[in-house]
Amino acid sequence: MALTLTDLTAPQGFERLVLAQDPQAGLRALICLHSTTLGPAAGGCRMWAYADDDAAIHDVTRLARGMTYKNAMADLGLGGGKAVIIGDARTDKTPAMMRAFGEAVDALGGTYWTAEDVGISPADMAHAAEATRFAVGLSGASGDPSPWTAEGVFRCLRVGARHAFGTDDLTGRRVLVQGLGHVGLSLAEKLAAAGARLMVTDIHQAALDDAATRLGATVCAPDAVFDQQMDILAPCALGGVLTRDTAAALTATLVCGAANNQLADDGVADILAARGITYLPDYVVNAGGIISVASEIHGKPDAWRLDRLTAIAGRVDQMLTRARDTDQLPSAVADQMVHDMLTTRRAA
C-alpha cells in the first residue's frame, strides 16, 4: 500500500494536522503545522511509543506550538511545526520507514521542514532526505543539533544565574541535570567544566555511571529528583516534569533546561513564581538546536549560528529584566514578545 496523507481536524489556532501512513514501510506519523506566519514551519521529528493516537496528537500539537514561539524568539524567519512517528525507535525504526516519512514531508510542498528529535538520528534523517529536500540536520551539513542546544541552554542558564543569584559564576553551585541524552550530557559536561557541583539522573544506568566516573557527578534516582537540595534544576528529558506537586516540592531557585514543555500546565509557572523560583521558558533557552537546523535551511555559516545563540542569551536578559520591572512572570513576558512579533508580521 502506498503512502496516504489524511487531514485531521486541527485544534483552534493551528493551521494543519496530517496523519501519514504507509503500512508496508511501518509508518504511522503525525505532522502538525501550527503557524507559517513568519516563514515555513520548522521543527524536528520525534519517534515515541505513544499509548494511543490521542497521546500522540497531544504531544505533536504542543510541540508544534512551542516551535512557533521558539523560532520567533530566535529570529529565524521560520514558523512552527513538528512531526511524531508512532513506534519504538529501538525496535520499529527502519530505513524504509524513514524514507516513507520523507515522502510525507515532501508531499507538504515545503510548508514544513523536518530534522531529528528524540529517537531520530542524523543517519535516520539522511534516509528521509532520500525522498525530500525538506529534511535537514544531516551529517556533513549542520549535523547533530544537540551540541548547539546544550550551548544555548548553558549560556541562558548563566544569564538566569546572574539574575537569580547576583553572579553567573557557577563554582560550587548545585545543579541537577535531569536526563543524560545527547543534550543533557553535553550540558552536564559544560556545567562540570564551569565548577558546578553536578548532580545527574537518568533511566539508563550506563549514562549515570559515565557521568559519575568522568564528570564527578553525584547520581540520584529518577524518582528522587524533587527530594534533592539544589540551586538549579536543568530538565533535559521529556516534558511535563514540573507539575503542581513537584513545583511545590522543588528546592531550586532557578529552572533552566533543554526539555520541551516542562510545565504540566500553565498554572505551574504561578506556583514557581510564588515560591521565588525563576523559570526560564524552555522554548526560549533550548533554541540552539533549531538555530543550527535553520542555518542549513537558509544556507548560513557557523558565525550566523553563534550570533543567534548570543542573541538568545540577550533576549533572556531582556525578558528577565522586563519581568522584574513589570512584576510579570518571565513566561508571560516571553509570550507577549512572540505575540507582538506575529501580530506585526500579520499586519505588514
Say if residue 260's pLDDT is above 90. Answer: no
What pLDDT digit, counting tens, does each position of 21-74 carry? 999 999 999 999 999 999 999 999 999 999 999 999 999 999 999 899 999 999
Q: How far apart are CA 117 and CA 182, in angstroms?
A: 10
Say if residue 12's pLDDT is above 80. Answer: yes
Tell me whether strands 41-42 and 27-35 are parallel, antiparallel or unpaired.
unpaired
Q: Is 82 noted as a catalytic residue in this protein? A: yes
What pLDDT digit, counting tens, does each position of 283-307 carry? 899 999 889 889 989 999 889 988 9
Contacts 24+ apart (CB under 8 A), 35-38: 35/68, 35/79, 35/80, 35/342, 36/79, 36/111, 37/68, 37/79, 37/342, 37/345, 37/346, 38/68, 38/71, 38/72, 38/76, 38/77, 38/78, 38/79, 38/341, 38/342, 38/345
Say if residue 1's pLDDT is above 60. Answer: no
Q: How confident is the model at residue 14 (pLDDT cuts 50, 70, 90)?
A: very high
Least confident stretch, 6-15, 233-242, 244-253, 339-348:
339-348
Contact 43, 80 (CB under 8 A): yes
Q: How far apart are CA 173 and CA 44, in angstroms?
A: 33
Instruction: Write down the pTM of the prediction.
Output: 0.84
**pLDDT at site 142:** 61
All three cell numbers of 220: 540520584
Read out DSSP for 118-169?
Answer: TT--HHHHHHHHTT-SSB---TTTT---HHHHHHHHHHHHHHHHHHHHS---
Q: How many CA atoms lie within 13 A of 131 on its CB side?
A: 20
Residue linked to cell 509508518: 27
**pLDDT at site 118:** 85
**pLDDT at site 137:** 82
Which residue type does 316 have?
V
> 148: exposed, middle or buried (C-beta count within 10 Å: 0-12, 13-18, 19+)?
buried
Average pLDDT over all residues of the chain: 93
**pLDDT at site 168:** 97
What pLDDT digit, counting tens, does each position of 137-177 carry? 887 666 677 888 999 999 999 999 999 999 999 999 999 99
Q: How confident is the model at residue 129 (pLDDT cuts 50, 70, 90)?
A: very high
- Over residues 200-229, the mean pLDDT reads 96
Say if residue 233's pLDDT is above 60. Answer: yes
Contact 67, 81 (CB under 8 A): yes
Read out DSSP for 200-212?
Answer: EE-S-HHHHHHHH
Cβ count near 8 (within 10 Å): 13
**pLDDT at site 347:** 65
Share of the chain above pLDDT 70, in %: 98
> 307: exposed, middle or buried (C-beta count within 10 Å: 0-12, 13-18, 19+)?
middle
**pLDDT at site 122:** 87
Q: How far apart are CA 38 and CA 76, in angstroms?
A: 8
Say if residue 237's pLDDT is above 80. Answer: yes
- Over residues 181-208, the mean pLDDT reads 96
Q: How confident is the model at residue 238 (pLDDT cuts 50, 70, 90)?
A: confident
Name the catalytic one among 82, 93, 190, 300.
82
**pLDDT at site 141:** 64
Q: How confident is the model at residue 348 (pLDDT cuts 50, 70, 90)?
A: low
**pLDDT at site 20:** 98
Contact 282, 149 (CB under 8 A): no
Residue linked to cell 543539533: 145
Contact 277, 253 (CB under 8 A): yes
Sign (positive/negative) of CA torsion 11, 14, 15, 17? negative
Cβ count near 327 (within 10 Å): 7
Q: How far apart are CA 317 and CA 283, in angstroms?
A: 15
Say if residue 239's pLDDT is above 90. Answer: no
Read out DSSP for 275-298?
Answer: TT-EE--HHHHTTHHHHHHHHHHH
All three cell numbers of 151: 550551548
- Over residues 98-118, the mean pLDDT reads 96
Least confident stretch, 6-15, 95-104, 181-190, 332-341:
332-341
